[in-house]
Structure 1
């Protein structure tokens, strides 16, 4: 009983497994992504040096407006784990203030990230696929304020959580929340004023939250399987057996012929072919005539059971078409028969 229940469950699950496999075949994919980016507001120390006269520090406050992120990926799907190489660009505008100095200055902060990511898809292959991920790489940072532009390269890291939707076996869309941070950059600007050299060093923290939408396209996705061929319908058939060298019908034969007549009537519009056979005993010409007598005996019985004579075709095969292969001269009961086929 347990085996029957397990077997039924497997059969019931088979269509869903086939669907899952077709929705996420795995392999290489590429993608485009974009969304909104928020940088955490921060306060940090800046150091100003006018050599050889002065070195001092002051607090700098940075507040950020909502920015954007754009990027692209190439990856490989292992049906569960995924790995990606990602390139992304972020840009945010904001304002900075310096200690107790009144007023503020505008700032533009740009980031280019090259990241290696690893993801894990839960329920891989379903239409809806939750996932988590993490990544690490390099961030190329640029800050521009007060007509000055400074650069820094830092280690970058990120964590992702999202949900994907497999549109079909080729396209997938993802909605994702992401944290991305870097090690603390040191932006250094040097210059001269009134003949004196100076430098300003700032060390802001860099923490980002992004809400992103992406579209993936898979390569080499297996085409959908062809529809199953229509089932082969075998015409109803019946078999009547005879004694050796006889064409008269036994009671069992008459019962079988009655069943064949009922099957004919149930089809409404059909034809019957009655094909007579013999065994290999006796002369071939005699057996051909005997097979025809047997076929005609069956036809007459069918007519008596209400089958129109014009709906019945009679064929004599003699010793041809043996049901059981024998040598010549063998009295084989299974070969002495008439086959009734309803089409």
Structure 2
């Protein structure tokens, strides 16, 4: 049994790096506390020839450990009690075998299945075994663990595992007896220090409503399409309720620079007048002329580019 346990643990450990690469469940390292309890069966136990196993009992204890997200280390204290059915008047412990173990456990979580987490582990430590008249046999203890966990909420987890637990032979009235146990344990764990989930990203900045009106070369008069666009801008202003409007005029690079500055301002004022005719108060409109500055399409000097002959209407 012990050789089989060691072989299984070593085989699992040799496969850990490959499994670690496949882990996909998000998790955070941290300290955890656990409370555990379950059933314990003693087998292969023979104190005297007529006191044969198995004995059925229970176990109750707790753990404190650190989760590295994958590997875990923990210290476990566990009390086991198995009733023997043999009663002796005046005996220190009557009708039962009690064990207190303090174990250091090394476990590994296979985090490839989301919230469902199979795990394997092994532990070693010291046990204090009581049997009938002989109290407090201090022995070496060891165990192998195979189980499955479920993270039902951030930082909260339940486990169910099966264990083989054994010790070196306790003594009874000058003789020794074998001590083999199989346990079925349930655990609830709470992890501390796990990072809080990141806050949701801030909403993307919303650009203010904008509209663009285009002009013929060397002209500041509004086409039918331009008037439709200005009507849409006026409707957007009214829907907003309270806003400011900026009308910024531009020209292409043909013609003298000073002339183009004045032309861009005439275009912006033409748009303002159309907005006012569509019901927008004149005092909420700011008019700006930028001439050849702020080209929509970069060109050399002297180029007639239709997309640069425009007024940009921004509502904010």
TM > 0.5: yes
* Residue 144 (structure 2) pairs with residue 150 (structure 1): no
Q: After superposition, give the CA deviation of every residue in 1:63-82 in whole Å (9 maximum; x if it has no partner).
A: 6765533443344322xxx4
Partner SS for 1:60 = coil
Matches within 5 A, 1:33-112: 33-35=35-37, 38-40=40-42, 44-46=46-48, 58-60=49-51, 66=58, 68-78=60-70, 82-92=71-81, 97=86, 105-107=91-93, 109-112=98-101
Partner SS for 1:44 = coil
Check the 8 A contact 1:161/1:178 in 2, yes or no: yes
Partner of 1:235 in structure 2? 208
Check the 8 A contact 1:295/1:316 in 2, yes or no: yes
Check the 8 A contact 2:36/2:62 in 1, yes or no: yes
> 2:266, 2:107 → 1: CA distance?
81
Partner of 1:187 in structure 2? 171
The offset of 1:247, in angstroms, is: 1.1
Partner SS for 1:264 = helix
> 1:307, 1:133 → 2: CA distance?
74
Partner SS for 1:292 = helix
* TM-score normalised to structure 2 length: 0.73
Max Rg structure: 1
> 1:238, 1:148 → 2: CA distance?
92
Check the 8 A contact 1:96/1:104 in 2, yes or no: no
Partner of 2:103 in structure 1? 114
Pick from 168, 171, 175: which aligns with 1:201?
175
Closer/same/farther in 2, CA of residues 269 and 223 from structure 1, 3 Å limit: same
* Residue 288 (structure 2) pairs with residue 310 (structure 1): no
Partner SS for 1:302 = helix
Check the 8 A contact 1:90/1:111 in 2, yes or no: yes
The offset of 1:151, in angstroms, is: 3.7
Unaligned runs of 5+ in 2: 1-24
Closer/same/farther in 2, CA of residues 293 and 206 from structure 1, 3 Å limit: same
> 1:149, 1:116 → 2: CA distance?
23
Q: After superposition, give the CA deviation of every residue in 1:193-239 in whole Å (9 maximum; x if it has no partner).
A: xxxxxxx31424432535443434355x4442232112211112111
Check the 8 A contact 2:40/2:80 in 1, yes or no: no
> 1:139, 1:39 → 2: CA distance?
19
Closer/same/farther in 2, CA of residues 122 and 315 from structure 1, 3 Å limit: closer
* TM-score normalised to structure 1 length: 0.68
Partner of 2:158 in structure 1? 174
CA RMSD across the alignment = 3.6
